């Protein structure tokens, strides 16, 4: 996905660019390509960005620890402010860890908007924190109930017994 040069967007029809997405996003492990679209509109001192996309990811159930497939869907509309002051701040920002709350972005009006990176962030934020294969997942089940366990034990004892008989 190519980055959009923001001044160029001013000249686009209705100052809007629409990007069709059908690809794997670098850094995001998905079973299927991310499909959807992103719309970016230049509104003077801000960009109106909206995106609808979906893909399938593999989750790990917090209760039973089984993997399961999860349909990840984003449908987001967001404002990204354009501020010339960003250029000066940028050097400073790159020197420190970027906290999640800082992701509400401000870009330079003479810079680029990277739709791939934006979508990657939105998809990451949409990954469920609490992963359950099913709302009613009973969790890890004992392999057998106690009577089976005893039978199993008996069977193992009988093996030992058989082995013992073979010994001189
Ligand atoms: Zn489960």
| 22 Cα to the center of ligand 1, angstroms | 30
Residue 168: inside a domain, yes or no?
no
pLDDT above 60: residue 146 = no
State which of 21-35, 78-92, 133-147 shows the largest mean pLDDT: 21-35
Residue 161: inside a domain, yes or no?
no
Residue 144: inside a domain, yes or no?
no
- Count structural domains, the chain: 1
| 57 Cα to the center of ligand 1, angstroms | 16
Residue 152: inside a domain, yes or no?
no
| 64 Cα to the center of ligand 1, angstroms | 4
User: Rounded to 10 degrees, what is the CA torsion of 149, 155, 157, 158?
Assistant: 160
Instruction: For residue 60, give its domain range.
Output: 4-139
| 61 Cα to the center of ligand 1, angstroms | 5
Residues 131 and 60 sit within 8 Å (Cβ to Cβ): yes
| 29 Cα to the center of ligand 1, angstroms | 21
pTM of the model: 0.73
Residues 120 and 9 sit within 8 Å (Cβ to Cβ): no
Residue 155: inside a domain, yes or no?
no
* pLDDT, tens digit (0-9, with 9 covering 90-100), for 48-82: 999 999 999 999 999 999 999 999 999 999 999 99
The rounded distance, in Å, linking the Cα atoms of 21 and 61 is 29
| 140 Cα to the center of ligand 1, angstroms | 8
Residue 51: inside a domain, yes or no?
yes
Instruction: Provide the mean pLDDT of the chain.
Output: 85
| 67 Cα to the center of ligand 1, angstroms | 8
């Amino acid at each position: 996905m190519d980055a959009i040069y923001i001044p160029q967007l001013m000249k686009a029809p209705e100052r809007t660019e629409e990007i069709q997405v059908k690809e794997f996003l670098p850094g995001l492990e998905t079973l299927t390509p991310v499909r959807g679209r992103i719309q970016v509109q230049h509104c003077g001192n801000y960009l109106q960005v909206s995106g609808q996309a979906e893909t399938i990811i593999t989750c790990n159930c917090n209760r039973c620890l089984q993997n399961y497939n999860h349909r990840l869907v984003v449908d987001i509309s967001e404002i990204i402010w354009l501020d010339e002051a960003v250029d000066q701040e940028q050097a400073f920002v790159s020197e420190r860890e970027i906290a999640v709350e800082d992701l509400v972005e401000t870009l330079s009006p003479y810079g680029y908007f990277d739709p791939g990176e934006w979508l990657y962030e939105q998809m990451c934020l949409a990954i469920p924190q609490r992963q359950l294969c099913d709302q009613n997942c009973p969790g890890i089940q004992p392999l057998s109930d106690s009577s089976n366990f005893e039978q199993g034990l008996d069977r193992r004892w009988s093996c030992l017994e058989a082995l013992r008989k073979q010994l001189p």
